[in-house]
Structure 1
């Protein structure tokens, strides 16, 4: 069983899943920079994202508990909360199933990740400067039209390096959602999105996971645990940073990291 690789990739996943810097893109670049075979780690890269998702469930358990109680008591706010998450999830579910093979083919192109990291960083700087005044506060108070729009923004993240959290957060900001609400909505939307993506990968690759020499359940378990622990720390810090300083620091990181990785790939 391999140990170092799952730990390193679990750290990368936990650090980047909820930041607008693309966790999938970073995992692809990590594989390229460290010499891993991407084809062997694709299932691992997707499944360990559930570790980071579990961190959201743990950190926001009071929110989910309150929503569950509200559903049982038929509170409108709780029903709107669930409605918004499901509506925003639908575009990715439909388009992801339709274009699954094409999306999978993009996962082996680290140069594409570098370009999308750079372009995404530039886009964040532009949106931060030009986005209209954000007046929508609270996940349950996001209008249906805005919710669906955010769902389509999330579909941009099917291109590696774009960033699921980055696409949804920037989409929400451009549609008038306040920063903290945009970040938290992205967190909650990740739950059905990544559960669906993981289930699809596990069903499709259920036989290869048990193949001798392949990246299997033990490695995935290690990556899952590591990504969970790291994400717990990152999410708390992230919300504080964006509330006070916005998303500019992450935009510049994307531009610098993407440029450095692209130069390395071209010259290796």
Structure 2
């Protein structure tokens, strides 16, 4: 078993655990990592590994939100169980658009869109989108706070604005997961289709969808975590099946790489999710937007400097 490959796998697990949940594109980071960290493994295994490693990340969601997602949790009465089953129905509904469109296009997307230029463009475009959306939301919030002045006078408006200041950093008509309607869940799922383009970020596209459809940042992030469960399990299963049907096999080194990557991705994801849920209660997503733009420019500059775009994994 190659110790150096295990260390590389641990680093990839670290990158995956952070970038899978923050709306900054795990693909954009992985292509840069791939340029500098090479493993002594077959290409077929490498392509499968970069998808299956996501299982470690998704297991962290199952652990952190086990009570919320388990309809049989102790303490949940009849209404609680019904609400949990309803939540699962909305999660499945939200995954349908990406499954219907993504499965038939999977090979096509791999062949035509997995390149550095597409990733760089997606990073920059959606980075700009985050900034514009947050500015738009802030203007709407300010307009809502100022509206009472027209009816009750400036003093009353000032009082309303002060009362709203506590939650002014994280606002939206939908402030609870339970308030997400079936229509909103489907709408967010439609935005998830955008993540088929590499560099978009699955979490980024669904969070943008949630914000545009009226959720708070906290609700958008949490529903994004939930949507990831069937999506990432399905993607991992598809890659494993294709890997095995291709006649490939894994030796001790490959098994070691896989286990280390999964474990590190799991542990780091626990920390990343907890950090993000706390961050969005007090801050907007514009910092991630600027980060995406900078990363996109760096990716584009790097590959323009070294020549033709290399194939992404």
TM-score, with structure 2 as normaliser:
0.78
* SS of residue in 1 equivalent to 2:72: helix
The farther-off stretch of 183-192 and 77-86 is 77-86
Deviates more, 1:172-181 or 1:109-118: 109-118
Query: Which one of 128, 149, 155 corresponds to residue 134 of structure 2?
Result: 128
Match of 1:144 among 182, 191, 198: 182
SS at match of 2:174: coil
TM-score (norm 1): 0.91
User: In 2, distance between residues paired with 1:38 and 1:29?
Assistant: 19
1:199 matches 2:237: yes
Aligned to 1:210: 249
Residue equivalent to 2:124: 118
1:124/1:247 contact within 8 Å kept:
yes
Among 65, 68, 75, which residue is 2:72 paired with?
A: 68
Residue deviations 1:70-99 (CA, integer Å, cap 9, x gap) = 998364422321111110011111112111
Cα separation, 1, equivalents of 2:120 and 2:103 = 25
Answer whether contact 2:69 2:88 (CA < 8 A) is retained.
no
Matches of residues 47-126 of structure 1 in structure 2 within 5 Å?
A: 47-65=52-70, 67-69=71-73, 73=78, 75-106=81-112, 108-126=114-132
SS of the residue corresponding to residue 136 of structure 1 reads: coil
Give deviations 1:184-217, integer Å, cap 9, x for gaps.
000011001000101111111115541669x833
Aligned residue for 1:185, secondary structure, equals helix
2:18 matched to which residue of 1? 15
Deviates more, 1:68-77 or 1:203-212: 68-77
Aligned to 1:265: 303
Whole-Å separation in 1 of the counterparts to 2:261 and 2:247? 18
| CA contact 1:29–1:110 (8 Å) conserved in 2 | no
Distance 1:106 1:47 in 2: 22
Q: Is the 8 A contact 2:8 2:37 kept in 1?
A: no
Partner of 2:258 in structure 1? Answer: 220
Contact persistence 2:68–2:84 (CA under 8 A): no
Cα distance, 1:94–1:71 mapped onto 2, change above 3 Å: farther
CA contact (8 A) 2:14 2:264 kept: yes
1-structure distance, mates of 2:17, 2:35: 19
Rg (Cα) greater in structure: 2
Unpaired runs of 5+ residues, structure 2, are 142-171, 307-313
Cα RMSD over matched residues? 2.3
Asked if 1 retains the 8 angstrom alpha-carbon contact of 2:114 and 2:198, the reply is no
Query: SS of 1:210's equivalent?
Result: coil
Q: Is the 8 A contact 1:39 1:108 kept in 2?
A: no
Question: Quick one: distance in 1 between partners of 2:59 and 2:232?
Answer: 11
Structure 1 residue matching 2:16: 3-state secondary structure: helix
User: Kindly tell me: are residues 62 and 239 of structure 1, through their superposed partners in 2, closer, same or farther at Cα, counting changes over 3 Å?
Assistant: same
Task: Tell me if the contact between 1:15 and 1:234 (Cα under 8 Å) persists in the aligned partners.
Answer: yes
Counterparts of 2:7 and 2:177, CA distance in 1 = 39
Residues 8 and 200 (structure 1 numbering): CA distance in 2 closer, same or farther, change over 3 Å?
Answer: same
Greater Cα offset, 29-38 or 194-203: 29-38
